[in-house]
Structure 1
Amino acid sequence: MAEKCFTVLDLLDLDLKEHNSLNLRCIGGRKGLTREISIPDLNRPGLALSGFFDSFAFNRLQVYGRGEVAYLRKIEEDGKVETIRQMFTYAIPCCIFTHNLVPGEMFFREAEASQCPILQTDLSTAEFSARIMRILSDVFAPRQSIHGVLAEVYGLGILILGDSGVGKSETALELIKLGHRLVADDVVEIHCVSGNILMGTGANKIIAHHMEIRGLGIINVTHLYGIGAIRDKKQIQLVVKLEIWDASKNYDRIGTEEQYMEILGVNIPKLEIPVKPGRNIPIIIETAAMNERLKKMGYNAAREFNKNILKWIESDNARAVYFGSEDII
């Protein structure tokens, strides 16, 4: 069971637009809107309506399409109240009717008596099921908040980390000026989708696209650089950790050994970039983004360089052996 507390009222209050909109409205059982949705899954209660309650998945959202509503009408015509009454003895989160369908008076009466919410949508059953599963998967995804900056650079989601004062926000500001986009500054909320995709967004929508620049204060990126300089969420595909240059530390100069950072059980490629006067960090991050895209396309510059060096050494040694040997007559 999911630990997140998410109620039917929360489902109705979700700010969903366009292809995510569920078009839900409550048509009965309003007293039960505080019922908790604990499992991100659906159930079509056809067997339960026929009186078979073994393995009844009552703790899921109960979706009623045209088939279930037609059967409900037959039950009511036959006066089989006991089946409907028995179904509502279970702690059902809510009943959702698609195609703008409406249950009969008997169903309404039993739902009101058990304080079970009845919701309605104009979407088809197949379309509603696809949308609600996508939304519930996002709502119940594991989450973690990280102190850092998330930006989109050349289409790649880059999470910039580092100690306070190292220059994360200033780097992100320069990237925005170069035409890239800000997702979140200071606190990035990360959630894992489908078990292997990390999506990052601002922890607070009101302040997500504001930045704190020391010596300047709070700035509104949207107002300064336009709507094209921001986006609400982005998949995290690369982690860049900024740190003050340490002369005693050996930094990777070739790039053959790849590092990873584990976030919510997912390994993300990680780069450690030392910061010191004279280094153009935004340009380095731009280059890192393009290099990472090349890697995803199957080309690794560091490995290719290493391979060419080995070939050169082998061929050079072969020539030395050949020309250094004495001809035997």
Structure 2
Amino acid sequence: MSKVTVKELIEEFDLELVNDEENVVYRNITTSDISRPGMEMAGYFTYYPAKRLQLLGKTELTFFSQLSQEEKKDRMNRLSTYDTPGIILSRGNEAPDELIEAANEVGVPILISKMTTTRLSSQLTNYLEIQLAPMTAIHGVLIDIYGIGVMITGSSGVGKSETALDLVRRGHRLVADDSVEIKQEHEGTLVGSAPDLIKHLLEIRGLGIINVMTLFGAGAVRNYKRIGMVMHLELWDQKKQYDRLGLDEDTMTIFETDIPKLTIPVRPGRNLAVIIEVAAMNFRLKRMGINAAEQFTERLNSVIEEGDKEDF
């Protein structure tokens, strides 16, 4: 399971730690949901989501200030649990003494942000959704071609990396080679990136490992890209019937998301880089409502119908 610690949030959002670090336990955050404990401030803890980050804004703290001393201690003791990963105060509000005392007992970090509550909640949620998104790794190459994230798959030695090198020379951008880490940031949205160890690197058999950014410049690489289509390379099989019109639509399923997939037979003399480049352009045209295969079929049907009428 993906996880994020409060220590990472402190560095990412420039948060100020209020309580003593010796008393703090940096627990893992396992959900992107943020809780604003308004009902809890009123004393209703029946459905308190203790495992979420707790965000206290001006509204919650103003209400809290109106409680009796006994109620203040009770609320903060129940708010700070061994499951609570952290409590964040927005707008630079000071942490009440009752909160600091209760949090120190169970090691909950108290953090202060200068951002407004709504903006902080939005940025925290977006960050956590990306970091906690389900992830898998697929053997292949990911290239940004004309704004389309094209993932090239195929058996080892079929020519994926060599094709990627040719595409980079033609002005396209490398995202990942050999291993593509894929995250489902939102439903239907798959984003691929390279593992840190092999970022910006290409392995070419007989040549070795090359650094694409060093050789071709920063414009030849990018760190991540949404995957739009899959190009599967396979050795040419004369017994197999390959699609010649482009009407058949195959897909590859990743995290229950279907990605359009084309199978390209590989044999000497075929320029795979040009084929993949044209496939990406054709994919863009299809998204704009222009489908050459369907237009050809309509023309063919029209010619056949006219021929039938002449026979009569």
Q: Which residue of 2 aligns with 1:19?
A: none
2:306 alignment counterpart: 315
Partner of 1:271: 262
CA contact (8 A) 1:201 1:233 kept: yes
From 9, 12, 15, the counterpart of 1:11? 9
Q: 2:217 aligned with 1:226, yes or no? A: yes
Q: For residues 270 and 247 of structure 1, what CA distance do their matches in structure 2 show?
A: 21
Matched, 1:27 2:38: no
AA aligned opposite 1:88: S
Secondary structure at the counterpart of residue 313 of structure 1: helix
Structure 1, 73-82 or 206-215: larger mean CA deviation? 73-82
Counterpart CA distance in 1 for 2:130 and 2:297 is 42
The secondary structure found in structure 2 opposite 1:236 is strand
Q: Does 1:202 align with 2:194?
A: yes
Which of residues 226, 230, 237 is equivalent to 1:246?
237
1:82 aligns with 2:80: no
Q: State the percentage of identical aligned residues.
A: 41
User: Does 2:55 correspond to 1:63?
Assistant: yes
Q: Cα offset for 1:78?
A: 7.5
Deviations 1:267-295 (A, max 9, x none): 00001101111101000001100100011
Corresponding residue to 1:160 among 152, 157, 160:
152
1:274 counterpart letter in structure 2: P
| Distance of 2:308 and 2:217 partners within structure 1 | 59
1:116 pairs with 108, 119, 133, which one?
108
Larger radius of gyration: 1
Q: Is the 8 A contact 2:176 2:199 kept in 1?
A: yes
CA RMSD of aligned residues (A): 1.7
Equivalent position amino acid for 1:126 in 2: T
8 A Cα contact 1:170 1:213, kept in partner: yes
Offset, 1:165: 0.8
Deviation of residue 39 (structure 1)? 2.0
Q: Please report the TM-score for the alignment, with normalisation by the length of structure 1.
A: 0.90
Q: Which runs of 5+ in 2 are unaligned?
A: none
Cα shift readout 1:128-166 (whole Å, capped 9, x = no counterpart): 111111111112211110010000001100000011111
Consecutive unaligned residues in structure 1, runs of 5 or more: 17-21, 322-329
